[in-house]
Chain A
Amino acid sequence: MSENIDQYLKSEYSAGWITDIESLTIPPGLNEDVIRLISAKKQEPEWMLEWRLKAYRAWLEMKEPEWAHVVYPKPDFQALSYYSSPKSMEDGPQSLDEVDPELLRTYEKLGIPVHEQEVLAGVAVDMVFDSVSVGTTFRQKLKDAGVIFCPISEAVHEYPELVKKYLGSVVPQKDNFYAALNSAVFSDGSFVYIPKGVRCPMELSTYFRINEAKTGQFERTLIIADEGSQVSYLEGCTAPMRDENQLHAAVVELVALDDADIKYSTVQNWYPGDAQGKGGIYNFVTKRGIAHNRSKISWTQVETGSAVTWKYPSCILKGDDSIGEFYSVALTSNYQQADTGTKMIHLGKNTRSTIIAKGISAKQSSNSYRGLVKMNPGAEGARNYTQCDSLLIGDKCGAHTFPYIESKNPTAVIEHEATTSKVSDDQLFLCQQRGIDAEKAVSMIVNGFCKDVFRELPMEFAVEAGKLLEVSLEGAVG
């Protein structure tokens, strides 16, 4: 009967096309000259180049992590190109009116509001194409509110003090193998600064698109919410369908100063590879936030794409009474592998964290939750609640849970709940007996399973996430 389930699991990847555009791509290979070249292309100041080189030298000494529950051929770092930009973007950032229409069409086709006058455009968007940001909407409106939202390459020039102070402050250059690589070669990404006491007037979002073949995308995002400020940020990602694997190694750093509130949502839909497991993105990402007194950082992620995912959006709860949240839905199908979860590091008094992780595995895929909850000696009265649920569709997939708990403070309270369930033939039959076809039934059951997480997404995204699951599960049961 599980074969019946399988026949409904054919997934169609709708973002798999290529934009036909002339690009300038530097030759494959990585050495100090390549890093100097990237830095020169961005006309970076000397300090930025030194920062990159320091990361590169550290990276040379590091080993690729092998502890994750994933199996894949190691990327050949000398065979990748580390910088690719549409030719029309060669002269640096332009105003939206001057951006190559072909590039804007790429984003329009993906359903991203690129024109400020669009009705649904209650969201400001930074569009990152391969290694460069091609445009950012609503910059003026945001500027009027004192909010800075720009490509990070621009922030290096315009706001060097902020960048110097915070870049690498949450994820240091030597943090891990991929973070070090990213620190050496990062090309673009978004920079956000919300001034004291400001509630960001609109949702901010960055849409990442890999287009060029044989390149890696190494974006870097830095969000600083100053005291008492508030921001909600969304990120989306897609890439063309290709037979060879491509590497995406990003770093995201969040800084929530006293009483600030950052909500960071991701819908990750990188190309997952085909039904035979060929191609797809390697998504090796380091995301971390630091929460100061009474501040709050909330991560919500819906992960449906990528061939291999290695990603642990984390919170360092440094300040007293700070709050960390992690809501995750990770869906794997075909031969996808995901090893994802979070780290909640409680340093301050009365810090609180919540982890709700939902893993859905179908076909031959492997889906692992890996999470660390750590209560340091100073974490008086800290609390954590973790709930990890796995849903299996069919009988060839795997779900794994690796929770790590370390408590060095006797007053800290840690709760952990975990469940594993299957979309059962009985559930499907109940639906069918009531006239609902199996495909709709599976999508209903899976959406029900994810409800606790979808609730956390901004409204426009919740609808998109539901649809995305439906597409990823298209054809999934019987």
Chain B
Amino acid sequence: MLNINDLHARVEDTAILHGLNLEVKPGEVHAIMGPNGAGKSTLGNVLAGRPGYEVTGGSVTYKGNDLLELEAEERARAGVFLAFQYPVEIPGVSNMEFLKASVDAIRTARGDDVMSSMDFIKLAREKCKAVDLPQDFLKRGVNEGFSGGEKKRNELLQMMLLEPSLCILDETDSGLDIDALQVVARGVNALRSPDRGIIVVTHYQRLLDYIVPDYVHVLAKGRIVKSGGRELALELEKHGYSWIDEEVA
């Protein structure tokens, strides 16, 4: 489903990714771990097409097409979803209005009918329950005055409503207490399916106790330097990232 080949990218004048390779097949959950500054967030932003992130080499194929050719909203409509590390606020625009516009745009792109407002409200309420967000969050401005945990659950809510093919979670666990972490993990696990790929970007192995990945990759200095199974994450926890640094050097 996703094939990243020798990807180089920079943000403004700083080169961050230096030849990254990764393949994600439908149904797989990949965890990307690494020290701060390794390029973890850059990877998610490049895949989602964030302005300011420039690809300087390599290729990314998604469902057989060149992903890098597409505009950000086209990637989203094609099923690429990025759960943000720091979701921004949009004051005055209600969550419900935002979610409806989003779901409408994506359903239209897929060729599905636009949902009626009544059906949509029903669905949104149902999904709110699943991520443990009170329903009045639907009436509030997008992320406006939400706590860190509420913002992350709101990201999860969007992911559940949009049903993307490829989910990229950018340090979704950062700033979450253990209860919130479990809610998020439960939500992500519910989305695991044979036709969906999931990339979990995280600094800590803690999240992987709850979302058990099929593969773990270590990202350092802009490249995947080590790949393995679940046990790699535990090893990292034990030895820290300096162990990788030594090995790479």
Contacts and interface: CB of A to CB of B under 8 A. Distances in A.
B195 interface: no
Contact of A429 (B51, B77, B91): B51
A478 to B, nearest CB: 8
Nearest to B88: A426
Interface stretch (B34-42, B94-102, B125-133, B180-188): B94-102
B162 A434 contact: yes
Contact of B73 (A425, A435, A447): A435
Given A4-B51, A448-B92, A433 B98 contact: no
B72 interface: yes
B91 A436 contact: no
Interface in B102-122: 102, 105-106, 109
Nearest to A424: B88
B88 A1 contact: no
B87 interface: yes
Contact of B92 (A425, A433, A437, A449): A449
Given A436-B101, A444-B97, A430 B87 contact: yes
Most buried by B among A434, A448, A478: A434
B73 A437 contact: yes
B52 A427 contact: no
Interface residues of A, number: 27
Given A429-B50, A433-B76, A448 B106 contact: no
B90 A445 contact: yes
Contacts of B88: 424, 426-427, 430
Nearest to A434: B102
A474 B50 CA distance: 22
A445 B93 CA distance: 6
A411 interface: no
A445 to B, nearest CB: 6
A436 B73 contact: yes
A278 interface: no
A451 to B, nearest CB: 5
Contacts, number: 87
A468 to B, nearest CB: 18
A65 to B, nearest CB: 34
Contacts of A449: 91-92
A11 interface: no
B84 to A, nearest CB: 7
Interface in A116-159: none
Given A437-B105, A445-B93, A432 B52 contact: no
B72 A433 contact: yes
Contacts of B106: 434-435
B172 interface: no
A1 B51 CA distance: 7
Interface in B60-87: 71-73, 75-77, 81-82, 84, 87
Counting chain A CB atoms within 10 Å of each CB, which of B76, B93, B106, B162 scores highest?
Answer: B93
A435 B97 contact: no
Q: Which of B51, B71, B73: most chain A CB closer than 10 A?
A: B73
Contacts of A421: 91
B141 interface: yes
B90 A435 contact: no
A6 to B, nearest CB: 14
A409 to B, nearest CB: 34
B216 interface: no
User: Would you call the interface of chain A mostly helix, strand, loop, or mixed?
Assistant: helix
B9 interface: no
A434 B72 CA distance: 9
A57 interface: no
B105 A435 contact: yes
A449 B76 CA distance: 25
B158 interface: yes
Given A433-B72, A435-B73, A448-B93, A425 B105 contact: no
B32 interface: no
Interface string B24-36: 0000000000000
Contacts of B72: 429, 432-433
Interface string A243-280: 00000000000000000000000000000000000000
Centre residue among A421, A435, A447 by max chain B CB count within 10 A:
A435
Contacts of B220: none
A440 interface: yes
Nearest to A478: B51
A443 to B, nearest CB: 10
Given A427-B88, A429-B72, A444-B98, A435 B109 contact: yes
Contacts of B82: 433
Contacts of B105: 434-437, 440
B48 interface: yes
Nearest to A428: B51
Contacts of A425: 51-52
Which residue among B52, B77, B98, B162 has the maximum number of chain A CB atoms within 10 Å of its CB?
A: B98
Given A1-B52, A444-B97, A448-B141, A436 B92 contact: no
Interface string A436-474: 111010001101111110000000000000000000000
28 contacts: A1-B51, A1-B52, A421-B91, A426-B88, A427-B88, A427-B90, A429-B50, A429-B72, A430-B84, A430-B90, A431-B98, A433-B49, A433-B73, A433-B81, A433-B82, A434-B102, A434-B162, A435-B73, A436-B98, A437-B105, A440-B101, A444-B90, A444-B97, A444-B98, A448-B91, A448-B93, A448-B97, A452-B92
Interface of B: 48-52, 71-73, 75-77, 81-82, 84, 87-88, 90-94, 97-98, 101-102, 105-106, 109, 141-142, 158, 162
Given A425-B52, A432-B49, 14 more contacts: A424-B88, A429-B72, A430-B84, A433-B72, A433-B73, A433-B75, A434-B105, A435-B77, A435-B106, A435-B162, A436-B105, A437-B105, A448-B90, A450-B92
Interface of A: 1, 4, 421, 424-427, 429-438, 440, 444-445, 447-452, 478
Closest 8 CB pairs of A and B: A448-B92, A448-B93, A435-B105, A434-B102, A432-B72, A435-B76, A435-B106, A432-B73
